[in-house]
Amino acid sequence: MATAYDRDNIFAKILRGEIPCDRVYEDDHVLAFRDINPQAPVHVLVIPKGEYVSMDDFAESAGDAEIAAFVRAVGRVARELGLQDPGYRILANHGADSHQEVPHLHVHIFGGRPLGPMLVRT
């Protein structure tokens, strides 16, 4: 069964304007802002404005306009940050094995330096 959306999660508070963020992009469906604890010189989070726990939830339940806006925003933000030529990485965590911390869908955009291997083997 799908996890219920928690309206007290930190990104819901950012979307309601209760907590500030360093915004880099916004449209009717999407907000993008810098991560508070950056893991690379550029580390931006792109989130849908709708209430979706993760990509699993979003892919299943979001409307086509929301999905199109979200995918286009990820590409647009990376391009506008000048990342498409040196390259960048996008990442979205879902659930416990991925260590997803915030239960509102977010895509991380990392860039600004060589990013190393995709995953560290443990």
Q: How many residues does the chain have?
A: 122
Measured CA distances, 72 to 7, 9, 77, 113, 120 (Å): 25, 25, 9, 23, 29
| Residue of 11, 8, 59 lying closest to 33 (CA atoms) | 11
Give me the least distance between CB of 81 and ligand 5GP, in Å please.
Answer: 15
Q: Which is nearer to ligand 5GP, 38 or 63 (CB)?
A: 38
Give me the least distance between CB of 83 and ligand 5GP, in Å please.
Answer: 17
Binding site for ligand 5GP (CB under 6 A): 10, 19, 21, 33, 35-37, 93, 99-102
Three-state DSSP state, 42: strand
Which residues are designated catalytic? 106
Q: Which is nearer to ligand 5GP, 4 or 36 (CB)?
A: 36
Q: How far is it between the farthest Cα atoms of the chain?
A: 41
Give me the least distance between CB of 39 and ligand 5GP, in Å please.
Answer: 7
Q: Which is nearer to ligand 5GP, 63 or 95 (CB)?
A: 95
Measured CA distances, 66 to 73, 87, 111 (Å): 10, 25, 25
